[in-house]
Amino acid sequence: MPIELGRNAPAQTVSARTLAVCPCCGNRGFERLIDFGSVPISGWFRSDPREPAPSAELAFDLCNSCGLVRQLPGAAPRDYGATTRSTAKQFPAYGQALIERLASLGVGPNDLIVDVGSNDGVFLDALRTAGFSRLVGVEPSRQLADSARARGLRVENDYFGPHLVPDLLGAHGPARAIVCRHTLEHVPDPAAFVPALRDCLAPEGGVALLEVPDGAAIPDLMNVYEFWDEHLYCFCAENLARLLDRVGMPAFDAQVQPHLETRNLLLWCGRGRARAPEIGADRDCVALWRGLPARWAEFRERFGAALRDARRPIYLIGGSHSQYNIANYAGIGRFVDHLIDDDPAKLGGFPPILGASPSIISTARFESSARSGTVLITGFGYAKWTARICGHAAKHGMQRIDPRDFIPAASKDGV
C-alpha cells in the first residue's frame, strides 16, 4: 500500500515575498499589463441558470526587467485536492520524444524518476510502457492520485514543496530525473518550489524537465483566452532560465513545441551544469507583452461588433475555459446561446459566463436541431471536430465567425 507523505501539509498559499519580488530576476518593478475586472471563477458549472456564479477580480502585472507575467492576488488559491480533471486527452504528440530524451541523457530503466504534478498518471504510464520501473508521482488531487494507484502506479497524494522533500528523500532517495509538466504555472511561490525540485535531484548526473505553457504565445498569437485564473504566472524561455539560474539548476537546453493552437515551453536543467547562453537571447519579452493591451482592445471592439450583428442563436465550439474565457474577456457572453461540448460532466450545465446562462449541448444535438444562426469557431486546436461542426453549419447556410479574423497586425517592433 503506498505511503502518503506529508499528508497534513497545508494547501498552497501566496506569500508576501512572491507578491513583492519577481521570482525569476529579483526585480521589484512591476507594471499593470491587463485587467479583466470581475469574472466568474472557471470550472464552476451551475445546474440552475438562476444560481449566481462566484466571481473574482482577474488582472496581471508585468515584470519590467525580465518579462514575467504574474496574476494579481484575487480569489483564494485553488484547492487542487478536489480536482477531478484528467489531462490524458491533452497528452502531447511529442510525449514519446520526451521519454527518448530522458534515455539519451543517461536515465536508465532502474533509475528513480519523480513526476511532480502527475495528474492521473498518464506520463507515468508512458514511462512504464517504455521500460522504466522506479517511478513515483506526486499529485494533490485525491481522485486523480487514486486513479493512478488503481493502475499499479506509486503516487504520493500531496502538494509538492519544501515540506515534502525530506520525506521523499527518506522514502525513495534522490531522483535521477524529475519531470514537472504544467505545474509550475499554478504554483504561488516558484522561488520556493523550484529549489525543492533541485533538492530532490541527484547532485551528480541528475536532470529535470520543466514544461509550462509558452507565455510568449499569448501576445504572439493573441491567444488572450490562455490567461486563466488557475495560471498564476506566464513564463517565457528567458525568465524561466533566469529562475533556474538563481537556484543553481541551470538550463542546458530549451525547446518550444506546438500544441493544439498554442505552444509549450520545455527547459531541461540539472545541478552542476552550464546554462546554454542562447536560451531566450533572441526575444525581448517585455516589449512583446507591452504591445498586447492595445491590440487586445482593438480586437475586442471589432469582435464585439461582429457578434452584435451575427444571426442568432450563436454557438461556441467547446465548453472549457478557453471558450468561456474568450466570452468573458471579450464581453460577448450576452450574445452566446449555446456551447457545444461532448463531456458528459458538462452536458446540461451552465458554464461560468458573465451576464448570460447559455446551455451546453452535445455535437449530436447540435447536428440534429441547428438549422440557423451562427457558429463561433472556438474549438481551439481541435481541427477535425471544428470541421465537422462547420460542415453542418455550411450545409444549412449558417453563419460562421472565426475570432482570429479580427486580430490586428502587430507593428514591426512588437508594439
C-alpha distances in angstroms, 104 versus 93, 112, 200, 209?
Answer: 19, 15, 21, 13
**d(C-alpha 381, C-alpha 239), whole Å:** 27
17 pLDDT exceeds 70?
A: no
Band of residue 86 on the pLDDT scale cut at 50, 70, 90: confident
- Check whether residue 229 and residue 378 sit in a common domain: no
The cell 460562421 sits on which residue?
A: 400
pLDDT (0 to 100) of residue 260: 86
Domain-terminating residue out of 286, 317, 347: 286
Q: How many domains does the chain have?
A: 2
**d(C-alpha 412, C-alpha 253), whole Å:** 28
Domain-terminating residue out of 268, 286, 304: 286
192 vs 271, higher pLDDT: 192
pLDDT (0 to 100) of residue 88: 79
Average pLDDT rounded to a whole number, residues 144-169:
97
Residue 189's domain spans which residues?
A: 80-286
- Check whether residue 276 and residue 348 sit in a common domain: no
Domain for residue 63, yes or no? no
The torsion defined by the Cα of 344, 347, 349 and 353, in degrees rounded to 10, comes to: 110
Question: Between vectors from CA 390 to CA 364 and to CA 324, what angle results, nearest 5°?
Answer: 75
pLDDT (0 to 100) of residue 355: 84
Grid cell locating 189: 511561490
- Check whether residue 162 and residue 271 sit in a common domain: yes
- Check whether residue 331 and residue 362 sit in a common domain: yes
- Check whether residue 150 and residue 210 sit in a common domain: yes
CB burial string 333-343: b at 16+ within 10 A, e below: bebbbbbbbee
7 pLDDT exceeds 70?
A: no
13 pLDDT exceeds 70?
A: no
146 vs 14, higher pLDDT: 146
Average pLDDT rounded to a whole number, residues 3-30:
61
Q: What are phi and psi of 120, to 5 degrees?
A: -95, 15
- Check whether residue 158 and residue 253 sit in a common domain: yes
Grid cell locating 173: 532517495
pLDDT (0 to 100) of residue 9: 38
- Check whether residue 263 and residue 309 sit in a common domain: no
Average pLDDT rounded to a whole number, residues 408-414:
66
Domain-terminating residue out of 286, 319, 345: 286
* 16 Cβ neighbours under 8 A, 6+ residues apart: none
Q: Is the CA virtual torsion 294, 298, 301, 307 positive or negative?
A: negative
- Check whether residue 299 and residue 277 sit in a common domain: no
Under 8 Å between Cβ of 136 and 172: yes
pLDDT (0 to 100) of residue 275: 86
Q: What is the CATH classification number for the domain harbouring 360?
A: 3.40.50.720
Q: What is the CATH classification number for the domain harbouring 268?
A: 3.40.50.150
- Check whether residue 212 and residue 163 sit in a common domain: yes
What's the predicted TM-score (pTM) here? 0.91
- Give the strand order in the sheet containing 177-181: 155-156, 134-138, 112-116, 177-181, 207-213, 262-269, 251-259
Under 8 Å between Cβ of 141 and 81: yes
pLDDT (0 to 100) of residue 233: 97
- Check whether residue 209 and residue 346 sit in a common domain: no
415 pLDDT exceeds 50?
A: no
pLDDT (0 to 100) of residue 262: 93
Band of residue 230 on the pLDDT scale cut at 50, 70, 90: very high
Task: Give tens-digit pLDDT for 302-353.
Answer: 999 999 999 999 999 999 999 999 999 999 999 999 999 999 989 989 999 9
- Check whether residue 275 and residue 296 sit in a common domain: no
* 175 Cβ neighbours under 8 A, 6+ residues apart: 112, 113, 114, 136, 200, 201, 202, 206
- Check whether residue 198 and residue 301 sit in a common domain: no
CA R_g for the chain: 22
Cross-strand pairs, 46: 350
